[in-house]
Amino acid sequence: MFKKIALAAVVVVAMGSLTACGSSENTVSSAGGSSAAAVETTAAPAAKTSGTFADTITFPSGVSVKVKPAVVTAGQYASGAVEGKIVTFDITVKNGSKEDLNAALMSVPKVTYGADGTAAQIASDFEAKIGGSVLSTVLPGETQTAKVGYGIPAASFKDVRVEIMAPSFSDKPAIFKGAVK
């Protein structure tokens, strides 16, 4: 008898907690007096995860990122340049969230070019302050920019893709595509 009462109490508590979870849903009563939860079918719009180099992409957390490309002539001691040129990307991260952001991995993008998605190699020119720039902890409301360089053949300047890691592993990366000049 005690086991039946204990089991009934557990079921009542479980049902009560489930009802409490769903209490924000609207209810619809039918003519027979029974009620059923109305399910809202409007889904939140999906976050934009890709765009052109003119775009700013904002993650669900409020962190935003933009990428500005430029082509520069490599200096005498540069490494990784292709055809004497380095394509630089200014990666700007703004922390619009309420949490501190460790943005170090956001400053190491995956860069590819051409129709076949060839991986670009990292390039640096320390005299021109290209390379060695890494984002650090970005406090809420702050903005940081890192400049990174990659070797890309001039024939592929029209088809470049930059993938920036999301601030959270559960979010998709930000992808920027377009031509560099």
Residue 45 inside a domain? The answer is no
More confident site: 18 or 142: 142
Total domains present in the chain:
2
Q: Which of 8-22, 52-66, 121-135 has the lowest mean pLDDT?
A: 8-22
Res. 117 pLDDT band, cuts 50 70 90? very high
* Residues 54, 30 within the same domain: no
pLDDT of 154 higher than 60 = yes
pTM reported for the whole predicted model: 0.74
Contact by Cβ (8 Å): 128, 72: yes
Query: 126 pLDDT exceeds 80?
Result: yes
Burial degree of 171 (CB within 10 A; 0-12, 13-18, 19+) = middle
Question: What was the pLDDT predicted at 155?
Answer: 98
In a shared domain, residues 63 and 105: yes
10 and 81 co-located in one domain: no
Q: How far apart are CA 60 and CA 48, in angstroms?
A: 9
- Looking at the domain assignment, is residue 44 inside a domain? no
The sheet that has 50-52: what strands, in order across it?
A: 50-52, 174-178, 160-164, 110-113, 118-119
pLDDT digits (tens, 9 = 90+) for 59-99: 999 999 999 999 999 999 999 999 999 999 999 999 999 99
Range(s) of the domain holding residue 18: 2-37
Q: What pLDDT does 46 receive? A: 62
pLDDT over threshold 50, residue 29: no
pLDDT, position 28? 27
CB within 8 Å of 172: residues ≥ 6 apart: 47, 49, 166
**How do strand 27-29 and strand 35-37 relate by DSSP bridges?**
antiparallel
Please compute the mean of the pLDDT values over residues 94-117 and round it to a whole number: 98
**pLDDT for the residue numbered 47:** 66
